[in-house]
Amino acid sequence: MRALLRLASFAPRRQASSSRFLVDKFDRHHTYLRISLTERCNLRCQYCMPLEGVQLSKPSHLLTTPEIVKLVQLFAQGGISKIRLTGGEPLLRKDLPEIVGHLKGISGIRTIGMTTNGVTLHRTLSSLQEAGLDKLNISLDTLEERKFEFIARRKGLRHVLRSIDEAVQAGFTPLKINCVVMKGLNDDEISSFVALTKDKPIDVRFIEYMPFDGNRWNFSKFVAYKDMLSAIEASHGDVVRLENDYNDTAKSYKVPGYTGHFGFITSMSEHFCGSCNRLRLSAEGSLKVCLFGASEVSLRDALRSGADDAELMSLIGMAVKKKKAAHAGMFNISKSKNKPMILIGGLFSNLSIRLFSSSQLSHLDSQGKARMVDTSEKEITQREASARAVVHLGKSIYDAVKENNVKKGDVLSVARIAGISAAKATPSLIPLCHTLGLSYVGIEFHLREVDHSVEVVSVVRCADRTGVEMEALTAVAVASLTVYDMCKAMSKDMEIREIRLLYKKGGKSN
């Protein structure tokens, strides 16, 4: 049984602002401004940006340091007292210490924080602290090297861990660690992150996976904070609920006897829109009053067109007054148009599109003609791959499948056979794939009542010179199509979504 000790009441406490132009029609006083300093990043995190990349703004379109200082001075007049610098990766901005120093000197600004991926933080930590940096958040989603490279598409875990240790030694207390939790990827590490708080003054904040344009958000990856909390209690015992200020985004907890604490940012399952006091300024000078809202106001254009202080403050005030009571909810957000997170400067810390010559492409020869890769020199190793797909059925079809009441027969049994057969037939379906001696093909189905869908997961194994990821992907694709075919007489309003590789093992890349 969960034993939660309430240490304090949660009565609202608002800070009074010196002006009403940052107060919206729901009487929310905005005192917190997040500023994206750059769109560039030295990591390529999968949840942060689309696989196909983003179009970066021209340098001339980004706010200059004097323009940032000017706008912050206006925001400070309206009651902004807390600044957080984000990106992209803010450490890629060469004049970052100078920016921190300028902002720290603005009347009314009490706190300067920064969110970073921490890869290069240890190089500039002391200069940033001297300039006036008060608070520090480091984004880290895994403690495993290989998984870090998979999520971030880059190496760097040891550098991040070094930065965490040095930040703690420098006195950033509590040092906040932002961890985006995704089912099947890093949800098995939740307890390991909590263990970091045992001897260090660290605040680990588990963030519910949120939908942004291009990050391929899917409910099957979503882990609600209550499920995370249950996992923590299972491994660490009963926990204590801590006091939160009115505008805090995290629900805070502590393992009794541990030095640090942990919390959950529940933007999706239990939003905190009613107490939201945050505004966002993108690197190109656009004001966003809601992280999940598509509307923006260009303060850069107004500033460069010669608008005076009164006009700029009026423009900001009108944007704030249009802020909605709450965001639209995770399922509606996932269907709406918004920028990729990398261009917003969201909770976390670009992806360039690579162009290859034909000589660099393994399936083309020097004349650009298709060829099969020669694997004869590769070592025979144990190979394994897993893939998944989701078939959204709708309630009536879902109930029929669950109760095995579909006229064509046992849907999932037929789909399992189809998926296994498809994996074995992959070389005849996908050009240039090698014929492999598969040792195992497994297909599992998970019925999800919350969105009336069936999740299809495959596992394929062999001992050979090349991997079986195509076999795993083909298996879930054909199994999903079979589910569709078996049920289409009932309704064609079904969708097959997110066919993707979960992992591959064996071989050079592992």
Question: Which residues are designated catalytic?
Answer: 485
Write phi, then psi, for 427 (nearest 5 degrees): -60, -25
Q: Quick one: DSSP state of residue 486?
A: H
Q: Is 159 exposed, middle or buried (0-12, 13-18, 19+ CB in 10 A)?
A: middle
Q: Which of 420, 413, 406 is nearest to 486 (CA)?
A: 406
Strand partners, 279: 33
The tokens for 32 are 């917190």
d(CA 10, CA 17): 21
d(CA 317, CA 77): 12
- The single-letter code of the amino acid at 433 is C
Q: Is 147 exposed, middle or buried (0-12, 13-18, 19+ CB in 10 A)?
A: middle
d(CA 304, CA 319): 19
Long-range contacts of 411-416 (CB under 8 A, 24+ apart): 411/482, 411/483, 411/486, 411/487, 412/445, 412/454, 412/483, 414/482, 414/486, 415/443, 415/445, 415/456, 415/479, 415/480, 415/482, 415/483, 415/486, 416/443, 416/445, 416/479
Q: Do 301 and 356 contact (CB within 8 A), yes or no?
A: no
- The single-letter code of the amino acid at 104 is K
The tokens for 486 are 């078996």
Q: Do 125 and 98 contact (CB within 8 A), yes or no?
A: no
Residues in CB range of 164: below 8 A, 6 or more apart: 118, 138, 140, 175, 177, 202
Q: Where are the alpha helices (DSSP H) in 432-489?
A: 469-487
Q: Where are the alpha helices (DSSP H) in 251-367?
A: 299-304, 309-321, 330-333
d(CA 76, CA 80): 4
Q: Is 489 exposed, middle or buried (0-12, 13-18, 19+ CB in 10 A)?
A: exposed
- Residues in the chain, overall count: 510
Angle at 141 between CA 136 and CA 146, to 5 degrees: 130
